[in-house]
Amino acid sequence: MKKLSMLFVAGLFASLLAGCSPEVGSEAWCENMDETPKGEWSANDAGDYAKHCVFR
């Protein structure tokens, strides 16, 4: 029962963190990426940024 409770709490925590992130391609996401150092971007981040923030 204790493991099930811990899994539930971990899942709830993960879903709350995911809920705080702006949707990829939104204006808030683009602004967040502008503030993030380019060295921390993944290849997917760079592609999404170009697609949604540069070539609108």
Q: Which residue carries 């990426």 as its tokens?
A: 33
Query: Quick check: 22 and 29 in contact, CB under 8 A?
Result: yes
Instruction: State pTM to two decimals.
Output: 0.62
pLDDT for the residue 1: 78
Q: What share of the chain is helix, strand, coil (3-state, %, to 5)?
A: 75, 0, 25
**What single letter denotes the amino acid at residue 37?**
P
If we measure between CA atoms, which residue out of 37, 45, 38 comes closest to residue 21? Answer: 45
Quote the pLDDT of residue 7.
65
pLDDT for position 3: 73
By residue count, the chain amounts to 56
Q: Around 42, how many Cα atoms within 13 Å sit in the side-chain half-sphere?
A: 3
Low-confidence spans in the chain with pLDDT less than 50: none
